[in-house]
DNA sequence: GCCCTTTATGTAACCGGTTTCAGCACGCTA
DNA sequence: TAGCGTGCTGAAACCGGTTACATAAAGGGC
């Protein structure tokens, strides 16, 4: 592996000059520059990033904190992949690498410290945190890292932190208003876990839309799920058991909505005739499952891109956006309403 | 940021001793060790990974080569997310980080060199390559990197390289045999891009199963798709236009199968009564779309895990598995057959 | 009491870059 | 001709670790 000194020796120049050829080419004479570049190509010299990072304290790496080590083996973020693709593309375009950090393995370590330590050891220039929906507070400690930090779907505080999320309140309002416009006035909801930020916001949006329309909400019509299909199935069964049963349901996630749809079918009922149904997320299946799930769509790619932009803006010295950045959500009307 | 020298000074020991406390604790006396650890905790010392990498030439990072910069904006690997989760989990468990590399930005660079250079600059301990289905040969150059290297769904050669893939031949045979057992003897196929390795293998498996059953294949019953939904739709229309039309179709990917299903419906036909249909991949939708797509399921998590294991085994000095490692595929019978 | 291990530690070179500072050569001005 | 800015380059310190080698003290066998 050829080093900068080796290259300098072969060119008969100092290492400083070689370094300048690659970092501030304009200060070195045309002649030497060409000579150095030619020789570099010949011997296959490439600067060593670890050494650069050590010297400059800039790594061109953005850390990704994303805890896959989860009790649910099949745990899936509904559209992590879209976010990741967008995030990586945007970062790559600026020459930034994305380092998916393994939590620090040291024994006897407070779990909330594991990621923080990994972040600090690697001199990453910034951090993106993707929430699991996990209640593990590990990631929250990252607000303490003195590094630009953007969290997705997770509220986080700290002087160098900001958050990005879809407009969950607005989306839930859209969904609820849509049901109201369809003439429903007995609307139930299946929620996500109470401690999950998007879940809480969606519930809030639901409530506010009902309020605004002067529709009273029976608290027994609010039933908790966990964003997974089975919980939607169970929740819908609970709702169907009520007498009279609600005529419309807002499920705070599409997977739960699909579970609810199944419960409906199992009970010999149909959407939208017997019960109208709106979901949230617009996962791929929503469009494909009959009769087509009416839902709220999020700008999946936009979230990843916004995360990259937030990081890069902080990298260039800007202060973090104080509040959470919210991306617009829109209603997609399909067959269930 | 506290350095090792700072910590050594405060403890009244040499930097070598501090280093040993963290790397070979057994050689340093109980007393000093505790003292150093206590002081480290007090001043928040964490070893700098760049410096370690520089000195040891081991980074504990595995590079991920995955080109998101694609002409198809909505390009999706059918189950990249599952692979990624499994891969990252397995690597994380061993304290290995996953570096998603940005291609080298240098101007005037041969595109196939961009990733190779990124790999080399970062002293990653190994590389995982995820194929895009892209025909861009950029990634193939990675066989040249003198680094353990495992490619997913991509044939790659080199002294430190190995590949992992599902048993595409076997899966295609299963699918085809299943159709034959159902009594079909006029079976068509919708293939993936010819230059795509899994696509080629699936076609080979299809042919071999027909051969074995003594069923002749009309080459006009082999129609090419590109793994995307629209191509499946178009291909099925072509097949339906034939007279007599085939009674069964093996689509080499589920998305194409779903496109084919749509074409059937559009023509007023139904699966399996008019045309039986088998897909490949078992993407999430396959189970949910009515009447349920019969398909070949891949061990998505297994692929990620196997990739991690292959890398780690090479890291511990083992030679790479010479041929591709194939993971078993199985038939899932649903409504379309 | 001497020699030989063993154990614990320190010294200093090294990994491969960047960057400050100084110096040289050149051309220009006064 | 002295003085000065400008363009280019080099020497050396520095970033924060690891590790080969040397050394000193303690323990054991004779």
**Among A residues 236-295, those touching chain B with beta carbons less than 8 Å apart:** 258, 284-285, 288-290
Contact A165, A324 (CB under 8 A): yes
Residue with tokens 């998603």: B100
Select from B300, B262, B305 the least CA-distant residue to B281: B300
Residue with tokens 């000195």: B55
Least confident of A117-121, A242-246, A275-279, B68-72: B68-72
Nearest CA to the C1' of C14 belongs to which residue?
Answer: B55
Closest CA–CA distance from residue B240 to any residue of chain A (Å): 23
CA distance A179 to A251: 12
Which of A330 and A80 is assigned the larger pLDDT? A330
* Angstrom distance, A153 CA to D4 C1': 61
Dihedral sign, Cα of residue A76, residue A81, residue A86, residue A87: positive
Residue with tokens 């992590």: A80
Token pair listed for B58? 């081991």
Encode B18-46 in three state secondary structure.
Answer: HHHHHHCHHHCCHHHHHHHHHHHHHHCCC
Closest CA–CA distance from residue A105 to any residue of chain B (Å): 6
Calculate Rg over the CA atoms of chain A: 26
Encode A62-118 in three state secondary structure.
Answer: EEEECCCCCCCCCCCCCCHHHHHHHHHHHHHHCCCEEEECCCCCCCCCCHHHHHHHH
Query: Which residues in chain A have Cβ-Cβ distances shorter than 8 Å to B68?
Result: 85, 88-89, 92
Q: Detail the DSSP E strand segments found in A208-297.
A: 222-224, 248-251, 276-278, 295-297
Which pLDDT score, from 0 to 100, does residue A278 have? 97
CA distance B276 to A273: 32
Select from A273, A271, A253 the least CA-distant residue to A262: A271
Which residues neighbour B205 within 8 Å (Cβ) at sequence distance 6 or greater?
A: B168, B169, B170, B171, B172, B173, B175, B176
Q: What are phi and psi of B30, to 5 degrees?
A: -45, -45
Q: What are phi and psi of A268, to 5 degrees?
A: 75, 20
Exposed, middle or buried: residue A182 (CB in 10 Å: 0-12, 13-18, 19+)?
middle
Give the CA distances from residue B280 to residues B189, B258, B308, in Å, rounded to whole numbers and listed in that order.
11, 11, 24
Exposed, middle or buried: residue B304 (CB in 10 Å: 0-12, 13-18, 19+)?
buried
CB atoms within 10 A of CB B328: 12
Q: Is the peptide bond before B244 cis (omega within 30 degrees of 0)?
A: yes
Which pLDDT score, from 0 to 100, does residue B201 have? 95
Dihedral angle of Cα B228, B234, B240, B242, to the nearest 10 degrees:
-120
Contact A100 B100 (CB under 8 A): yes
Residue with tokens 């000095």: B317
Contact A121 B69 (CB under 8 A): no
Which pLDDT score, from 0 to 100, does residue B75 have? 52
Query: Please, which pLDDT band fits residue A246 given cuts at 50, 70 and 90?
Result: very high
Q: What pLDDT digit, counting tens, does each position of A3-12 carry?
A: 999 999 999 9
Which pLDDT score, from 0 to 100, does residue A75 have? 52
Query: Which residues in chain A have Cβ-Cβ distances shorter than 8 Å to B146?
Result: none
Long-range contacts of A68-74 (CB under 8 A, 24+ apart): A68/B85, A68/B88, A68/B89, A68/B92, A69/A103, A69/B89, A69/B92, A69/B93, A70/A132, A70/A134, A72/A228, A73/B301
Which pLDDT score, from 0 to 100, does residue B141 have? 52
Select from A61, A69, A55, A52 the least CA-distant residue to A119: A61
Residue with tokens 């976010």: A83
Token pair listed for A256? 């739960």
Q: What are phi and psi of A46, to 5 degrees?
A: -135, 130
* Angstrom distance, B308 CA to C25 C1': 59
pLDDT at A266 over 70: yes
Select from B240, B231, B333 the least CA-distant residue to B286: B333
Dihedral sign, Cα of residue A143, residue A145, residue A150, residue A153: negative
CB atoms within 10 A of CB A265: 11
* Angstrom distance, A161 CA to C19 C1': 31
User: In the predicted model, what is the mean pLDDT of chain A?
Assistant: 89
Q: What are phi and psi of A285, to 5 degrees?
A: -65, -25
Interface check B84 vs A, CB under 8 A = yes
Which pLDDT score, from 0 to 100, does residue A295 have? 98
Option in A50, A76, A120 nearest B54 (CB): A50
Q: What are phi and psi of B101, to 5 degrees?
A: -80, 140
Domains of chain A and any CATH numbers: 4-47 (1.10.260.40), 61-167+301-327 (3.40.50.2300), 168-297 (3.40.50.2300)
CB atoms within 10 A of CB A95: 13
Along chain B (337 residues), what's the average pLDDT of each consecutive run of 10 residues? 91 95 93 94 94 96 82 61 92 96 82 83 93 49 72 82 94 98 96 90 97 95 93 96 95 95 93 94 87 94 95 91 92 95
Q: Is the peptide bond before B147 cis (omega within 30 degrees of 0)?
A: no
Query: Please, which pLDDT band fits residue A134 given cuts at 50, 70 and 90?
Result: very low
Select from A126, A120, A124, A128 the least CA-distant residue to A151: A128
Q: What pLDDT digit, counting tens, does each position of A99-114 carry?
A: 999 999 887 776 567 8
Contact A100 B105 (CB under 8 A): no
Q: What pLDDT digit, counting tens, does each position of A163-192 carry?
A: 999 999 999 999 999 999 999 999 999 999
Task: Give the angle A163-A164-A168 at the CA atoms, nearest 5°.
Answer: 120
Which pLDDT score, from 0 to 100, does residue A140 have? 47
Least confident of A77-81, A127-131, A213-217: A77-81
* Burial letters B266-300, b for 16+ CB under 10 A, else e: eeeeebbeebbbbbbbbbbbbebbeebbbbbbbbb
Select from B188, B211, B191, B186 the least CA-distant residue to B201: B191
DSSP string for residues in B134-199: ---GGGGGGGGSSS-EEEESS---STTEEEEEE-HHHHHHHHHHHHHHTT---EEEEE--TTSHHH
Q: What pLDDT digit, counting tens, does each position of A135-165 carry?
A: 444 444 555 567 899 999 887 777 888 999 9
Nucleotide nearest to B45 (CA to C1'): D16
**Among B residues 102-161, those touching chain A with beta carbons less than 8 Å apart:** 102-103, 105, 117-118, 120-123
Numbers of helices and strands, H then E, in chain B: 12, 12
Exposed, middle or buried: residue B171 (CB in 10 Å: 0-12, 13-18, 19+)?
buried
User: What are the residues facing A130 on neighbouring strands?
Assistant: A152
Q: What are phi and psi of A317, to 5 degrees?
A: 105, -10
């Amino acid at each position: 592996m050829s080093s900068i000194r080796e290259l300098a020796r072969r060119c008969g120049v100092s290492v400083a000059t070689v370094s300048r050829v690659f970092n501030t080419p304009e200060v070195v004479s045309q002649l030497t520059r060409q000579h150095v570049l030619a020789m570099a190509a010949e011997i296959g010299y490439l600067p060593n990033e670890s050494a650069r990072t050590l010297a400059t304290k800039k790594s061109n790496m953005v850390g990704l904190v994303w805890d896959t080590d989860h009790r649910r083996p099949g745990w899936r973020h509904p559209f992590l992949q879209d976010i990741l693709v967008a995030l990586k593309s945007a970062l790559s375009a600026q020459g930034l690498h994305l380092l998916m950090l393994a939590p620090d393995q040291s024994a006897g370590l407070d779990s909330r410290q594991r990621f923080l330590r990994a972040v600090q050891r690697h001199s990453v220039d910034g951090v993106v945190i993707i929430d699991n929906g996990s209640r593990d507070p590990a990631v929250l400690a990252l607000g303490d890292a003195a590094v630009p930090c953007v969290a997705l779907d997770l509220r986080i505080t700290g002087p160098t932190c900001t958050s990005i999320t879809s407009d969950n309140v607005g989306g839930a309002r859209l969904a609820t208003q849509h049901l109201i416009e369809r003439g429903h006035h007995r609307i139930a909801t299946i929620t996500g876990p109470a401690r999950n930020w998007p879940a809480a916001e969606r519930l809030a949006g639901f409530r506010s839309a009902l309020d605004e329309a002067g529709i009273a909400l029976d608290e027994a019509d609010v039933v908790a799920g966990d964003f997974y299909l089975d919980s939607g199935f169970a929740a819908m069964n609970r709702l169907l058991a009520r007498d009279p049963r609600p005529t419309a349901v807002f499920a705070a996630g599409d997977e739960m909505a699909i579970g609810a749809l199944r419960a409906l079918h199992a009970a010999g009922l149909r959407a939208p005739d017997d019960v109208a149904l709106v979901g949230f997320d617009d996962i791929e299946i929503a469009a494909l499952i009959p009769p087509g799930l009416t839902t709220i769509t999020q700008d999946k790619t936009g979230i990843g891109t916004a995360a990259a932009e937030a990081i890069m803006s902080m990298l260039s010295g800007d202060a973090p956006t104080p509040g959470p950045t919210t991306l617009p959500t829109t209603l997609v009307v399909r067959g269930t309403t």
